[in-house]
Structure 1
Amino acid sequence: MTPGNPKSTAHIATHPIHPMLIPFPIAFLVGTLLSDILFSQTGDAFWATASLYLLGAGIIMALAAALAGFADFFGDRRVRALSHAWQHMIGNLVAVLLSIFNLWIRLGDPESAILSIGLPISALVVLILLFTGWRGGDLVYRHRVGIPDEGPGAL
């Protein structure tokens, strides 16, 4: 067994990249849900357009965060041995795939898509993110993934 905490493979100095990136897709995807709700309540096309842009930005940033997350997941076998890591990864993959589908259905007519299925998909994605965020927190605070070891040379 390798001593110390599971390492973050994708890092700058000793700072893991994945946690630096994840606030962006979360903010964009939660913003998508909020603008979907505002569109459903007001009917103002501005909110449908805002949702479309927020969703696109959320997907792009989620893919960037996923690259760093995959590097960490596949870079240390101890991370792969954790059920929380699998739940975090699979849940986030489902959220990204749902978001891509959500964007695809909106491309032709964003307003109709929000009212038919876009809003429920956005809500489901946010619920999934709540779960995967909880599991991601477990990885850091419970399993100490990416936390420098104590002792000489630790920051």
Structure 2
Amino acid sequence: MTGRAPHEAKRPVSAVLAGPYGHPFHPMLVTVPIGAWVASMVFDVASRFASDPGFLAEGSKWLIAIGVLGALAAAMVGFLDLLAIPAGTPAFRTGLLHMGLNLVVTAAYAAGFLWRRADEAAGAVAPGPLLLSAGGLALLAVSGYLGGKLAYRYGVRVADEATQAGGFRR
């Protein structure tokens, strides 16, 4: 692999679709599903202790839906970022694993949403959907670690050091 490979992974395939150099859209968009799914877990757990849990279960279901839609948007631009990474590199393999885990997580949450829609009980969130969400969050944490590795260790879509130096001039 040439010294050119890290530079290639810093440039967007399409600045309009994936974000300009040094400022990708993917990390901004992932905050939607992460926030929605963490909040849904809070609602799930709270529904187990509330005297009137129906509104928490309903809120959790719709937070999951928002997270799935946000994940699909993040996946589209994340895929463009993956295309910028030279194939056959450790960074590319990490990106594939990151993408695969995120697809599994999104599918699990989509299934959890459908499961909850089919169960119209107004009570607390049932153990099955709650455990599915907990498992989804655990996988999401692993995937987030890999995303951090892509950005902070491999520098994917991160501006090079010469560009970064501008932020430290006096």
Q: Normalization by structure 1: what TM-score?
A: 0.88
Q: CA deviation at 1:13?
A: 5.0
- Cα-Cα RMSD: 2.4
Q: Is the 8 A contact 2:36 2:64 kept in 1?
A: yes
Q: CA deviation at 1:114?
A: 2.9
Matched, 1:142 2:153: yes
Letter of the 2:113 partner, please give it: L
Alignment match of 2:110 (pick from 93, 97, 100): 100
Q: Percent identity of the aligned residues?
A: 30
Counterpart in the other structure of 1:48: 57
Q: CA deviation at 1:86?
A: 2.0
Task: Say which is worse superposed, 98-107 or 67-76, in terms of deviation.
Answer: 67-76
Q: CA deviation at 1:151?
A: 3.1
Counterpart in the other structure of 2:69: 60
Written as runs of structure 1 = structure 2, the 5 A alignment for 1:4-153 is 4-5=6-7, 6-7=9-10, 8-9=12-13, 10-12=18-20, 14-42=22-50, 43-77=52-86, 81-82=90-91, 83-111=93-121, 114-151=125-162
Q: CA deviation at 1:108?
A: 2.5
**Are the structure 2 counterparts of residues 152 and 69 from structure 1 closer, same or farther at C-alpha, using a change threshold of 3 Å?**
closer
Q: Is the 8 A contact 1:148 1:154 kept in 2?
A: no
Unaligned runs of 5+ in 1: none
Q: Is the 8 A contact 2:5 2:85 kept in 1?
A: no
Letter of the 1:124 partner, please give it: G
Task: Say which is worse superposed, 141-150 or 113-122, in terms of deviation.
Answer: 113-122
Unaligned runs of 5+ in 2: none
Provide the rounded CA distance (Å) in 2 between the counterparts of 1:60 and 1:77. Answer: 28
Q: CA deviation at 1:150?
A: 3.0
Q: CA deviation at 1:77?
A: 2.1
> Higher Cα Rg: structure 1 or 2?
2
Q: CA deviation at 1:12?
A: 3.1
Letter of the 1:139 partner, please give it: L
